[in-house]
Amino acid sequence: MKGFGEQQKSKKKSNKKTKLSKEQIINQAIQFHSQGNIQEAAKYYQYCINQDFNDHRVFSNYGVILRDIGKLQDAEVSIRKAIALNPNFADAHSNLGNILSDLGKLQDAEVSTRKAIELNPNFAIAHANLGNILSDLGKLQDAEVSTRKAIELNPNFAIAHADLGNILNNLGKLQDAELSYRKAIELNPDYVEAYYNWGIILRDLGKLQDAEVSTRKAIELNPNFAIAHANLGNILNNLGKLQDAEVSTRKAIELNPNFAISHADLGNILNNLGKLQDAELSYRKAIELNPDYVEAHYNLGSILRDLGKLQDAEVSTRKAIELKPDFAEAYSNLGNILRDLSNVKDAELSYRKAIKLKPDLANPYFNLFRHYEQINNLKQLRESLNEFNNIDSIKNELLLFSARLSFRNKEHQTAKELIDNVSPKWIDKSNSSKNTIFWNYKAFIEDKIGNYDIAYSCFEKSQDDSSYLKFNKDSYLNFINSYKENIINKKIIFNKFNDGIEDYNLAFLIGFPRSGTTLLDTILRSHPEIEVIEEQPILSTIEKLVKEKLNTRLDDIYSISENNRKILRKQYFEILKKYTNIKRKLLIDKIPLHTSRLPLINFLFPNAKIIFTHRQPYDTVLSCFQQSFKPNNAMANLVSLKSSSIMYDQVMNAWDIYKNNLPLDFITSKYEHLIYEFEDHTLKILDFLGVGWDENVKNYRKTAMARNKINTPSSSQVVQPLYKSSIEKWKNYEKYFEDCHQYLEKWVSYFDY
C-alpha cells in the first residue's frame, strides 16, 4: 500500500526510500488517532493488522474506531484480540466495557470495566464509564460512588460532572444535580449536553426562566439538536409562551420527523392554544410513530372528548388502559367520557377502579362525587362521602361536596360553614375545572344567604377559567352574522320536497341559554308521544358538510342545489338515528342557540315546528353569568354580564329578523307563563305540536329523576318543584348591570315585560 513503511526523501539527496520500522508505523497510527485524523489512523491500523503486527495497542485503538463508526461486533472482536495479546492492558478492558454497553450487554460491560479498574485503580475514565454502566443497570447509588471516584481522580473531568448530574437527577437529588451540571459547564463552557440537561433540571425545579436560557444555549451551540428544541417547547409551554412553544416543537419535528414525543408535546401545546383539531392530528401522528405510546392515547382521548367525539374518546382511553392496566388517571378520565355518554353505571365503576388503583389520587374522588351530584343521586353522594370520610388526602373534596349536598338539601348556613373550611391553598393549586366548580358552588351558597356582593365576586371567579382562552368569543358573534347575511343579501326561494323524508314530525326547541329550555324539554319528554334529543351536535355536523363537502359559506346557504339539500336532509336523519329510535310521534331537537341556525333549519326542514322560549332578559343574562358552561366559542361570551348581554342582543336580533322574513311555523314559550300558568301554557304548546294532553306531563320531576344525565347546568333545578324565586332575581345584582342596559332594555319591551 503506497506510503506505508516508507517516506519521500529530500530532493537534494538520493531517491532511495527508507523503510519505517514496525514501531514507527504503529506510533504514526497512534499520532494520527490522537490528532483526530481518524481516516488516516484507520488506514494505518488496518495496514498493521494486514502485516500481522500483533500489537495490543493496534487492536485496541482500531476497536475504538470501529465502535465510533457503528461496527460494534467488529469492534468487540478487535478489542478482545488486544486483550488476548495483553491481558493486563487496562485501556482495552475499559474499551471493551464501552462496546459491550453499546451492545446492551450491561453485566458483561460491568465486568470488563471493573477489570480495567482492577488493573489501574487510578483510571478516572474507567470509573466514569463504570458509573454510566451501573446507572443503566439501575444501580444508582453504586453509579454515584463510581462517578464521584472519577471526579476525585480528575477534578476537571467535565464529562464525569455531567454524568454525575444525570445520576443525581435519577436519584431525585435535583439540587445536587444542578450543581454538577453547573460545574461541567464551568469546566467546558461549550458543553452542549450539559446545558441541555441543566435545562431539564431547572425546569423540574420550577426555575423555568433559567431553564429556557440554558436550553437556548444548548441550541445556540448545536442548532440541529432536535431534542433540545423539543425540551425548549416544553419549557415555553409551561411558561405560557404557547406560540413560541409551538415554533420550538415544530422545529424539533422538522429536525426529526419520527420523534413521537415531539408530536405528542405539540399536541399538548396545540390543545392549550385551543387548536383542538390540530392537536388531535399531532397525537394521532405520535401514535402512528409509536403505537404503544400510552400518554398519547390518553391525551388523544381527552382531546376527542373536548371535540365531542365521545365514542372515539372512549376507544382511545381504553387503549391507554389496555397498554397500561394500572393507569388510574386514564380510568378517571374514562369515567368522565362514559358520564358524557350517559353510561352512568360504567362511569361510576371506572371512577371506583381509579380509586382502587391509586387511593391517594384525588381526581377520581372528585369526579365520583361530582358524578352523583350531576345525576341527582344525592343519596349515593351522601353514602360515598361517608365511605371515604377518613381519607386525609381528599379532605377538601369532602368539604366541598358536603357543602354542595347541604345546599341541595336547602341547609344553606351549614353549606356555608363547610365550604368556608376548604383550604385556600387547595383552591389556588386546583386546576381550572375544580376551581370553577368551587367558586360556583360558593357563589350559589352566598346568593341563597343574601350575601349578593360576595356571591357576585364568587361568580366572577368561577368564570375566570383558563380553558376559555382556547376559544374566540367574537367568532361566535361572526357566526350569527353569517347566517343573517342569507336574509339580508339573498332572495329566498323555498321549495317543497318530495324526497320521501317526513319532517312534519320534527320540531326544534330554541331560544337562549337559561331561558327555560331545559324545564320545557323535561316537561315535553314526559309525554309518551314525544322524544327530545338534548344538546347533540347534529346540525353542527350538517354545517360541517355544507362548508367542507359542498364548499359553501354559511352566509350563502341558499345557493345549495336542490339535490344537495335532499342529501343534507337525509344525512340529518341518519345522524338522528344515533340518538333515538325515531319511534315516537314527535321528535324535538333541543339546543337553545339553534336560534342562530334558523335559516339552515328552515331551508332544510320547511315543515318543522319551532318552539322559541324566552325569559325576562335581565334574568336570562344573570343566569348565564352564574352558570359554568362547557367552554366553547359561544359560551366564551357568557363569562361576564356585559358580554352575555351583547350576545343576547345579537341572538335576539337574529330571531327578530328570522321571525319576520322566514316562513316559520313557530310558537313562543314565556318562562314566566310556564311557572305561573303551568297547565294552560303546557297545553297550548302540546296543541301546537299536534299531540293531546297527557297527565304524565305533570310528573316531569319524576322524568327528570329517571334520566341518566341531563346535559345542561339545569340538572339540579329541573328535579325541583316549580319555584318563583328565579323571577326578577336580577334585581339583587342590579348595580352590576350598569353597562348592560343598552343591550337589554329594548328586549324587555319587545317581549312585553
DSSP designation for 632: S
Residue 612 lies in a domain: yes
Residue 646 lies in a domain: yes
Q: How high is the pLDDT of residue 712?
A: 54
Residue 711 lies in a domain: yes
Using 50, 70 and 90 to split pLDDT, how confident is the model at 465?
confident
Question: Can you tell me whether residue 510 is helix, strand or coil?
Answer: strand
Nearest to 181, CA basis, from 214, 205, 149, 209: 214
Using 50, 70 and 90 to split pLDDT, how confident is the model at 490?
low
Q: How high is the pLDDT of residue 668?
A: 97
Q: How high is the pLDDT of residue 534?
A: 85
Which tens digits make up the pLDDT trace of 621-649? Answer: 999 999 988 888 899 999 999 999 999 99
Nearest to 514, CA basis, from 733, 735, 730: 730
Question: Can you tell me whether residue 18 is helix, strand or coil?
Answer: strand
The answer, yes or no, to whether residue 737 has pLDDT greater than 60, is yes
Q: What would the grid cell of residue 702 be?
A: 319524576
Which tens digits make up the pLDDT trace of 6-34? Answer: 333 333 444 444 567 888 988 898 898 88
Identity of residue 84: A
Residue 266 lies in a domain: no
Residue 294 lies in a domain: no
Residue 130 lies in a domain: no
Q: How high is the pLDDT of residue 704?
A: 58
Q: How high is the pLDDT of residue 377?
A: 92
587 — phi, psi (to 5°)? -110, 130
Whole-angstrom distance, CA of residue 618 vs CA of residue 753: 10
Using 50, 70 and 90 to split pLDDT, how confident is the model at 470?
confident
Which tens digits make up the pLDDT trace of 233-283? Answer: 999 999 989 999 999 999 999 999 999 999 999 999 999 888 889 999 999
Number of domains, the chain: 1
Q: How high is the pLDDT of residue 362?
A: 96
Q: How high is the pLDDT of residue 342?
A: 86
Which tens digits make up the pLDDT trace of 378-431? Answer: 999 999 999 999 999 999 999 999 999 999 999 999 999 999 999 999 999 998
Residue 705 lies in a domain: yes
C-alpha distances (whole Å) from 285 to each of 224, 246, 419 are 22, 16, 44
Angle at 110 between CA 105 and CA 116, to 5 degrees: 125
Whole-angstrom distance, CA of residue 442 vs CA of residue 462: 9
Nearest to 29, CA basis, from 40, 18, 19, 21: 40
DSSP assignment string, 545-596: IIIIIS---GGGGGGS-HHHHHHHHHHHHHHHTTT----SSEEEEE-GGGGG
The answer, yes or no, to whether residue 547 has pLDDT greater than 70, is yes
Whole-angstrom distance, CA of residue 532 vs CA of residue 622: 26
Residue/partner pairs of 32-41 with CB below 8 Å, 24 or more apart: 33/61, 33/65, 38/65, 38/68, 41/65
C-alpha distances (whole Å) from 664 to each of 486, 567, 691 are 15, 22, 19
Q: How high is the pLDDT of residue 495?
A: 62
Q: How high is the pLDDT of residue 713?
A: 53
The answer, yes or no, to whether residue 2 has pLDDT greater than 50, is no
Burial of 215-241, coded b for 16+ CB within 10 Å and e otherwise, reads bbbbbebeeebbbbbbbbbbbbbeeeb
Which tens digits make up the pLDDT trace of 328-358? Answer: 999 999 999 999 998 999 999 999 999 999 9
Angle at 485 between CA 635 and CA 507, to 5 degrees: 60
Instruction: Give the global pTM.
Output: 0.77
Nearest to 217, CA basis, from 239, 234, 193: 193
The parent domain of residue 638 ranges over 502-750
Helices (H) and strands (E) in the chain, counts: 38, 7
Whole-angstrom distance, CA of residue 85 vs CA of residue 77: 13
The answer, yes or no, to whether residue 432 has pLDDT greater than 90, is no
Residue 175 lies in a domain: no
CATH for 662:
3.40.50.300
